[in-house]
Amino acid sequence: MKRPLALLLTVLCLPLLFGPATSVEAVAPDYRFGVIEAYDAPWAASELGVGWTRVTFRWNEVQPEGPDQWNLPITDEQLALELVQGRQVVGLVVNTPGWATDLERGVGVPQGLYLGHQDPNNLWATFLSTLVSRYAGRIDHWIIWNEPDIWDTYHQSWGGSVEDFAQLLRVSYGAVKETNPN
């Protein structure tokens, strides 16, 4: 009888010893402060007042085997939660899958890059237009190929020339603006 009573008293007294449980409230989003992939810990991001987050769409992971495959890095539910919590979501698009690479030009350079952005044989423009269309109104800001100049022996995301990269940006601008003018 003494043991259960002692246990009950201990449990009842714990809040007195450690104080009342406190809840941390979300801070209003500060758009000067962003976190990459905040959707992995959305409540922590809200507590910190994170105003924007970045979602990385690695083309080689989204469509590793071909254009009909869509393995997206964020679910619609995760994206909706980010938006409800007041965070602006920015998309980053990088890395060309092997099936879409123009090997004559170098690693990362998509096939058909020098075709118009409306040409279905411009594989980059086709992918980008479809991606931007899917997220229009939810992701309206896009980063094209973050840090193409950083590579080492084990990693190189862009093996094309400066001219190829400039063309990638021209095509991207046309495809994104036509698909989602916002």
Q: Is residue 13 part of a domain?
A: no
The alpha carbon torsion through 60, 64, 70, 74 (nearest 10 deg) reads: -50
Residue 85: its pLDDT value, please? 93
**CA-closest candidate to residue 89, choices 46, 141, 127, 29:** 141
Residue whose tokens read 């976190």: 35
Q: Is residue 157 part of a domain?
A: yes
Structural domain range at position 161: 23-179
Q: Is residue 119 part of a domain?
A: yes
- Per-residue pLDDT of 39-92, as tens digits, reads 889 989 999 999 999 999 999 999 999 999 999 999 999 999 999 999 999 999
Q: Is residue 17 part of a domain?
A: no
Which CATH number fits the domain that encloses residue 98?
A: 3.20.20.80
User: What is the distance of C-alpha 20 from the center of its chain?
Assistant: 38
49: which residues sit within 8 A by CB, 6+ positions away? Answer: 26, 27, 28, 29, 30, 33
Q: Is residue 12 part of a domain?
A: no
Q: Is residue 8 part of a domain?
A: no
Distance CA 110, CA 101 (A): 5
Straight-line distance from the first to the last Cα atom of the chain, in angstroms, rounded to the nearest whole number: 71
Q: Residue 136 above 90 pLDDT?
A: yes
- Per-residue pLDDT of 109-132, as tens digits, reads 999 999 999 999 999 999 999 999
Residue 119: its pLDDT value, please? 97
User: What is the distance of C-alpha 97 from the center of its chain?
Assistant: 17
Q: Is residue 4 part of a domain?
A: no
Give the tokens for residue 135: 């997220």
Instruction: Supply φ then ψ for residue 110, to 5 degrees.
Output: -75, 150
* Total of domains in the chain: 1
Q: Is residue 10 part of a domain?
A: no
